[in-house]
């Protein structure tokens, strides 16, 4: 029994829709999956979310939290219908507290808008997905999203102090701290981060801020082949200077990037973008140490970006990769596996072997400093699509055999749900199911996502 329109009107006034055409726009995400919700609501207060969860629980109706639907895993697709809760109108930055290095925000604030507001006060929030201008803090937290800066500054879990949320029983939950230290009980904040809206709906977050570094320098290191580049990644991470970005592109990724910015991208076998930040007077020493580590067998050229424009051109080419892959393969399969950094050379070798055996193009690039590689399988027709689907379990098996895991930042959603039991210890998976039952006994929160049925 769906929640009735009159109940939704009581809670939201006019701020909801059951019009199928309007609902359609809230039934898809960047996974390109699609399903039809029964209603979409636009809360502006925590109390409305509490009332909605109670109503959905009474009516046994699924409730799917939604930021801007940019996730890649089907995590917001309402596979069982129900009510989509769009946080686009709950988007206030409640406060920026420089003294305590924190910001309190509602979930619908866009990552990019928050960064702009923080920059004016000399701070930033480290999670920096490429989608920053159009994804929300709520979505970032629910996916434990991150970007290039995570190698130095961590992802959402390392940069969030506390949350306010509504669990599947309708209970109000405040967890975490307002301080930069805290040692009181279980860490429910980290549990809800990365839970993909399956345990609770986040209505407010207290975020930990970091002062903006005064200066930044960028190196471009070109290598003869991917083995040389990935060996350099391990050397860079083994020495004391932590880069604030360490990005990798393989030869196929470079060919695509050259189409976007040929001047910035060399025609070599692999490339690293290595960045350091800090005080201007310390940077030369950091860059010198990173340069030594980046040098070694197979290095073709190591050069500093001469100015901010050259560095930005390099990054623009890197950011253009994901959309460029869609032009080759509208049905691209974009994974974001992670392995220990020292195993990157083996991972790339295994991926090449899988690509050759299944005769399917695989393009690799990503956040090498975290061992987090975007593995893109690019089927161009139905036959190749079937081959890519056959190759995918082998990709995951290789990653797990190398001591890695399924996702570094995109999460599980629908797309990887059925591989979860390969990535997790059976006892860990069983505890996750019990935790889900505690937070959401009727299974109304984002059903079908993350945990295999
Ligand atoms: C071009 C492009 C580039 C991208 N680059 C990156 C990248 O570099 N790094 C990266 O990590 N990701 C990246 N992504 C993926 C995506 O942008 C992130 O996962 C982002 O965090 C999703 O935010 P969203 O607001 O769109 O959330 P949605 O997609 O709407 O939702 C994502 C998940 O969060 C849940 N959710 C949303 N709001 C709440 C809430 N208030 N309470 C509880 N659960 C909630 C949803 O139910 C869902 O499970 C990229 C996507 C695109 C399209």
pLDDT in tens, 256-306: 888 877 778 888 999 999 999 999 999 999 999 999 999 999 999 999 987
φ/ψ of residue 252, rounded to 5 = -70, -40
127 lines ligand 1 (CB under 6 A): no
144 lines ligand 1 (CB under 6 A): no
DSSP for 212-256, written as a single string: PPSEEEEEEEEESSHHHHHHHHHHHHHSSPPPSEEEEEEHHHHHH
Residues 145-161: what's their mean pLDDT?
A: 98
Distance (angstroms) between ligand 1 centre and the Cα of 228 equals 33
Q: What is the pLDDT of residue 16?
A: 98
Q: Which of 25, 27, 70, 334 to mutate to test the pocket of ligand 1 (most atoms within 8 A of CB)?
A: 70
Q: Whose CA is nearest to atom 7 of ligand 1?
A: 129
Q: What's the rounded Cα separation, in Å, for the pair 171 and 165? A: 8
Residues 6+ apart with CB under 8 A from 332: 325, 326, 376, 377, 378, 379
142 lines ligand 1 (CB under 6 A): yes
Distance (angstroms) between ligand 1 centre and the Cα of 46 equals 21
For the chain, the average pLDDT equals 95
Residues 6+ apart with CB under 8 A from 106: 87, 90, 91, 92, 93, 94, 137, 203, 204
Nearest 10 degrees: Cα torsion 48, 50, 51, 55: 130
Helices (H), 73-219: 111-119, 137-143, 150-153, 188-192
pLDDT higher than 70, residue 240: yes
Least confident of 95-104, 270-279, 305-314, 379-388: 305-314
Burial class (CB in 10 A: 0-12, 13-18, 19+), 391: buried
Residues 6+ apart with CB under 8 A from 60: 1, 442, 444
Structure-token pair, residue 435: 């935790």
Distance (angstroms) between ligand 1 centre and the Cα of 146 equals 10
Q: Which of 46, 74, 142, 406 to mutate to test the pocket of ligand 1 (most atoms within 8 A of CB)?
A: 142
Residues 13-41: what's their mean pLDDT?
A: 97
Distance (angstroms) between ligand 1 centre and the Cα of 70 equals 5
Whether the Cβ atoms of residue 193 and residue 158 lie closer than 8 Å to each other: no
Distance (angstroms) between ligand 1 centre and the Cα of 144 equals 9
Q: What's the rounded Cα separation, in Å, for the pair 300 and 319? A: 23
Distance (angstroms) between ligand 1 centre and the Cα of 193 equals 12
Q: Which of 33, 66, 151 to mutate to test the pocket of ligand 1 (most atoms within 8 A of CB)?
A: 66
Which domains, from first to last, does the chain contain?
5-88 (3.30.43.10), 91-211 (3.30.465.10), 215-319 (3.30.70.2190), 324-422 (3.30.70.2740)
pLDDT higher than 90, residue 51: yes
Four-residue CA torsion sign, 223, 227, 230, 232: negative
Q: What is the pLDDT of residue 316?
A: 82
Give the number of the atom of ligand 1 that is nearest the alpha carbon of residue 30: 53
202 lines ligand 1 (CB under 6 A): yes
Q: Which helix (H) or strand (E) holds 273?
A: strand 270-278
- Closest to 49 measured CA to CA, from 160, 159, 192, 197: 197
371 lines ligand 1 (CB under 6 A): no
146 lines ligand 1 (CB under 6 A): yes
pLDDT higher than 70, residue 148: yes
Q: What's the rounded Cα separation, in Å, for the pair 34 and 22? A: 14
**pLDDT tens digits, one per residue of 206-224:** 999 999 999 999 999 999 9
Q: What's the rounded Cα separation, in Å, for the pair 358 and 386? A: 10
139 lines ligand 1 (CB under 6 A): yes
Distance (angstroms) between ligand 1 centre and the Cα of 407 equals 13
Q: What's the rounded Cα separation, in Å, for the pair 450 and 194? A: 10
Give the number of the atom of ligand 1 that is nearest the alpha carbon of residue 202: 42
Q: What percent of the chain has a predicted confidence (pLDDT) above 70?
A: 100
318 lines ligand 1 (CB under 6 A): no
List Cα–Cα distances, 43 to 13, 81, 192, 264, 432, in angstroms: 10, 19, 20, 45, 29
Give the number of the atom of ligand 1 that is nearest the alpha carbon of residue 322: 1
Q: What's the rounded Cα separation, in Å, for the pair 265 and 313? A: 9
76 lines ligand 1 (CB under 6 A): yes
Q: How confident is the model at residue 311 (pLDDT cuts 50, 70, 90)?
A: confident
Distance (angstroms) between ligand 1 centre and the Cα of 81 equals 20
Q: What is the pLDDT of residue 258?
A: 84
Q: Which of 67, 316, 372, 439 to mutate to test the pocket of ligand 1 (most atoms within 8 A of CB)?
A: 67
Beta bridge partners of 375: 335, 364
408 lines ligand 1 (CB under 6 A): no
pLDDT higher than 80, residue 370: yes
Whether the Cβ atoms of residue 236 and residue 246 lie closer than 8 Å to each other: yes
106 lines ligand 1 (CB under 6 A): no
- Closest to 58 measured CA to CA, from 164, 165, 168, 203: 168
Q: Whose CA is nearest to atom 16 of ligand 1?
A: 71
Q: What is the pLDDT of residue 1?
A: 56
Please state the pTM of the whole predicted model: 0.96
Q: Whose CA is nearest to atom 19 of ligand 1?
A: 71
Give the number of the atom of ligand 1 that is nearest the alpha carbon of residue 145: 11
Give the number of the atom of ligand 1 that is nearest the alpha carbon of residue 197: 44
């Amino acid at each position: 029994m769906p929640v009735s329109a009159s109940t939704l009107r009581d809670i939201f006034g006019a701020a909801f829709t059951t019009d199928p055409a309007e609902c359609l726009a809230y039934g898809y995400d960047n996974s390109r999956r699609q399903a039809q919700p029964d209603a979409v609501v636009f809360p502006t207060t925590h109390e409305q979310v509490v009332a909605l969860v109670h109503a959905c629980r009474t009516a046994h109706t699924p409730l799917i939290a939604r930021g801007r639907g940019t996730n890649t895993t089907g995590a917001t697709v309402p596979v069982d219908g129900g009510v989509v809760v769009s946080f686009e109108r709950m988007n206030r930055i409640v406060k920026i507290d420089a003294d305590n290095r924190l910001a309190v925000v509602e979930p619908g604030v866009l990552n990019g808008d928050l960064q702009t507001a923080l920059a004016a006060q000399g701070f930033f929030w480290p999670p920096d997905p490429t989608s920053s201008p159009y994804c929300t803090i709520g979505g970032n937290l629910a996916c434990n999203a991150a970007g290039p800066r995570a190698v130095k500054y961590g992802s959402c879990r390392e940069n969030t102090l506390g949350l306010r949320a509504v669990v599947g029983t309708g209970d109000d939950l405040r967890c975490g701290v307002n301080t930069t230290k805290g040692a009181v009980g279980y860490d429910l904040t980290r549990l809800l981060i990365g839970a993909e809206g399956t345990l609770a709906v986040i209505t407010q977050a207290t975020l930990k801020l970091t002062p903006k570094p005064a200066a930044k320098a960028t190196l471009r290191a070109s290598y003869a082949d991917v083995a040389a580049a990935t060996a350099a990644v391990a050397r860079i991470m083994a020495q004391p200077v932590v880069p604030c970005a360490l990005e990798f592109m393989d030869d196929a990724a470079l060919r695509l990037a050259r189409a976007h910015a040929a001047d910035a991208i060399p025609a070599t076998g692999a490339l690293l973008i290595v960045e350091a930040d800090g005080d201007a007077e310390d940077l030369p020493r950091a860059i010198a140490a990173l340069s030594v580590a980046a040098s070694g067998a197979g290095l073709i050229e190591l050069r500093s970006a001469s100015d901010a424009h050259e560095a930005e051109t390099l990054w623009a080419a890197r950011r253009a990769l994901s959309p460029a892959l869609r032009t080759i393969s509208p049905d691209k399969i974009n994974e974001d596996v992670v392995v220990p950094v020292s195993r990157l050379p083996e991972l790339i070798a295994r991926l090449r072997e899988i690509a050759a055996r299944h005769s399917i193009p695989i393009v690799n690039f990503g956040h090498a400093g975290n061992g987090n590689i975007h593995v893109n399988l690019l089927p161009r027709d139905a036959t190749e699509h079937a081959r890519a689907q056959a190759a995918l379990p082998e990709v995951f098996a290789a990653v797990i055999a190398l001591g890695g895991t399924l996702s570094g930042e995109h999460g599980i959603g629908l797309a990887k749900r059925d591989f979860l039991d390969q990535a997790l210890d059976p006892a860990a998976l069983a505890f996750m199911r019990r935790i889900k039952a505690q937070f959401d006994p009727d299974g109304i929160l984002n059903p079908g996502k993350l945990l295999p049925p």
